[in-house]
Amino acid sequence: MTKVLLHNDRTAHLQGWLEEAGSGVEVSTCETHAGMAAALETFKPDVVFSIRFAGEGFPTEALLGPHGPRWLANGGSGTNHLGVWDGTRVTVTNTAGVAADMMAEYILGGFLHFTLDVPGLRADQAARRWDTRRMVRPLSGKTLLIVGLGHTGRSLAARAQAFGMKVLGTRARVQQTAHVDEVFAADDLLEALPCADFVAVATPLLPSTRGLLGQAAFAAMKPGVVIADVSRGGVIDHAALLGALAEGRVAGAALDVFETEPLPESSPLWDQPNVLISPHCSSVHADWEAASFEVFLDNLRRWEAGEPLQNVVDPVRGY
């Protein structure tokens, strides 16, 4: 019988979904990071389903160590918290694509926040001020650059074209992509940036993408660009971003991810009037967790039937 360890700060509902699915597996749970090593050594699971949650010391070393599972099912899309693993010893899967549509809507919402000047409208409302000089700006006719044409990037491209935007994108392997007018190689980012009125960052955090949007990238951008970031903290160099905001080169930034989370109270990003901060929630909606677990359940059926798993992550590429 397959032994499954559920790792989350809340596991009762996950156990319930397993029971409803009639999987017939043996289940144990771990609701802390610190308890993972003991749970692995005692229970000896074949499979760990893990949703990364807040707290110090995510148990990467234990999960990838000698008592770790043969299959580690990551409940989210990003696996940068796992580093690089031995693909011959453990298979890692993710749930990439589950939240792509929601994250695409978040990005467009961030753009509209600035083009409609929602902060200004709220200030006028608070002051009971009726300013007939106020104007809004359209997305139609503008150029969007999507940094990373994965699930989220492709979902965003379809929605951006519906708004009448010209869509550019970068991907590791250049190929024609639906709803994208021009695809650039990832290494050609600096060539694409000057064309963009809006930039959406949706690339994984890898050694090659850490600090990808730094001083050189911001210097290449068109003045007045608006940015939305749903990737991972570390892809955008926030010190360089702060400089670009101060210079007016970046007119606004919707940021959902940060290198240190929660964002420290001392961060100067909190004080920027043209920055919209959200607590890494662009993918979180009422049905997200159930959809993520359904991907796991489908793979669990494949695992028990000896079939190839879906959403297997390449340990070298990181996605």
**Residue 56 appears among annotated catalytic residues:** no
8 Å CB contact between 7 and 30: yes
**Residue 128 appears among annotated catalytic residues:** no
Residue 86 burial (C-beta neighbours within 10 Å; 0-12, 13-18, 19+): exposed
Check 261, 301, 307, 317 and give the catalytic one: 261
8 Å CB contact between 236 and 201: yes
**Cα(first)–Cα(last) distance of the chain, in Å?**
30
Which helix (DSSP H) or strand (DSSP E) does residue 199 occupy?
strand 198-201
Q: Measured between alpha carbons, how far is 46 from 67 in angstroms, rounded to an integer?
A: 10
Check 154, 232, 238, 289 and give the catalytic one: 232
Check 52, 67, 210, 280 and give the catalytic one: 280
Read off φ and ψ for residue 128, nearest 5 degrees: 55, 45
**Residue 232 appears among annotated catalytic residues:** yes
8 Å CB contact between 114 and 226: yes
Helical pair 100-115 and 151-162, crossing angle rounded to 10 deg: 50
**C-alpha gyration radius of the chain:** 21
Question: Residue 244: helix, strand or coil by DSSP?
Answer: helix
261-to-53, 132, 230, 266, 299 alpha-carbon distances in Å: 11, 41, 14, 12, 30
Which helix (DSSP H) or strand (DSSP E) does residue 241 occupy?
helix 238-247
Catalytic positions: 232, 261, 280
